Amino acid sequence: MTVPDLGKEATALAFRDPQPGDRFTEMFAFWLYVIGRDGERVATLEANPPCTLPEDGQLRWQSLSEFRERFAYRTIPGYWVRFVDSGNNVAGWLK
């Protein structure tokens, strides 16, 4: 019997409908926050540690499909970043 990886399920759900305040990471060596959503467009703030957010983050606007493609594995299902949590206060980060 295999145990489901709830991290993969949570990540897949978060990529289906990214919302401001969602946070993702890649081995805690890369941070990705969703800081805005305008229909099919997603704004993210991204940084590599050591960093202070939002000051050190790089702002990116992308379509929803571009957002998913940027973080998807190319040859297997899934994403190379993992969903950490939601509800982070990102108010004022999108300027």
**3-class secondary structure for the chain?**
CCCCCHHHHHHHHHHHCCCCCCEEECCCCCEEEEEEEECCEEEEEEECCCCCCCCCCEEEEEEHHHHHHHHECCCCCCECCEEEECCCCCCCCCC
Domain extents for the chain?
Answer: 6-82
pTM for this model (two decimals):
0.91
Q: How confident is the model at residue 73 (pLDDT cuts 50, 70, 90)?
A: very high
pLDDT at res. 3: 46
pLDDT at 4 over 90: no
Percent of the chain with pLDDT over 90: 88
pLDDT at res. 95: 79
Q: Choose between 1 and 56: higher pLDDT.
A: 56
User: How far apart are the two ends of the chain, measured CA to CA in Å?
Assistant: 49
List, for residues 21-54, the tens digit of each pLDDT value: 999 999 889 999 999 999 999 999 999 999 999 9
